[in-house]
């Protein structure tokens, strides 16, 4: 990972970066982009839920380099390529549909098992990083929930490979 590298982030990563107070560090170090749907999801939710995290809309806009609107054709291209689609939410589908069209050296961060499995199926193993790795590269040392750590991402990759008989 290098300074200025494009990082595609999903809703969960955005919310956790705000919760752990590392959004500014990550977005200052990397060129952070997302899908329009992930942006919308990050700003919505039930504030009465005990685990609700408020995302500051102004800080989100400032930190994002770009938000990508995704059309039905792009989504369809992704769905045709994936055999493993169960559990992907709308934001992850749009983020991955956008990624399919890119030819640059992007990396991505998602903290959802279904999303990581889909990314591995698409051959993006080397493109996926944890929020923990991004934050540390950016000079932040936040306390993150387990599924935003390098350890969790390695465990999910290993489980995926073992489930498919690939080592």
Confidence of residue 84 (pLDDT cuts 50, 70, 90): confident
Longest Cα–Cα distance in the chain? 46
Q: Look at residue 93 and tell me if it is in a domain.
A: yes
Q: Once rounded to an integer, what is the mean pLDDT over residues 130-153?
A: 97
Quote the DSSP letter at residue 81: H
CATH of the domain at 116: 3.40.50.1010
Residue 86 has pLDDT above 90, yes or no: no
Contact (CB, 8 A) for 30 and 139? no
Which tokens go with 2? 């290098």
Distance separating alpha carbons of residues 132 and 145, to the nearest angstrom: 9
pLDDT tens-digit readout, 88-106: 999 999 999 999 999 999 9
Q: Look at residue 122 and tell me if it is in a domain.
A: yes
Note down the domain range covering 142.
Answer: 6-163
Q: Look at residue 36 and tell me if it is in a domain.
A: yes
Predicted TM-score of the model (pTM): 0.93
Contact (CB, 8 A) for 164 and 31? no
Q: Look at residue 151 and tell me if it is in a domain.
A: yes
Q: Look at residue 1 and tell me if it is in a domain.
A: no
Q: Look at residue 37 and tell me if it is in a domain.
A: yes
Task: Report CA 13 to chain centroid distance, whole Å.
Answer: 6
**How many domains does one find in the chain?**
1
Task: Report CA 89 to chain centroid distance, whole Å.
Answer: 12
Distance separating alpha carbons of residues 153 and 103, to the nearest angstrom: 24
State how far the alpha carbon of 72 is from the alpha carbons of 7, 8, 44, 94, in Å: 23, 20, 23, 9
Q: Once rounded to an integer, what is the mean pLDDT over residues 71-89?
A: 90
């Amino acid at each position: 990972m290098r300074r200025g590298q494009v990082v595609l982030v999903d809703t969960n990563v955005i919310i956790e970066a705000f919760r752990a107070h590392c959004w500014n560090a990550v977005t200052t170090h990397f060129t952070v982009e997302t899908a329009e749907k992930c942006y919308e999801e990050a700003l919505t939710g039930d504030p009465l839920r005990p685990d609700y995290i408020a995302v500051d809309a102004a800080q989100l806009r400032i930190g994002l380099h770009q938000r990508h609107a995704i059309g039905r054709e792009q989504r369809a291209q992704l769905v045709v390529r994936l055999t493993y689609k169960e559990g992907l939410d709308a934001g992850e589908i749009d983020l991955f549909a956008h990624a399919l069209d890119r030819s640059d050296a992007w990396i991505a961060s998602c903290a959802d098992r279904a999303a990581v499995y889909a990314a591995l199926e698409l051959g993006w193993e080397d493109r996926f990083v944890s929020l923990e790795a991004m934050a540390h590269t950016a000079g932040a040392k936040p306390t993150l929930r387990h599924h935003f750590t390098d350890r969790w991402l390695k465990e999910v990759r290993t489980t995926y490979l073992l489930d498919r008989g690939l080592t």
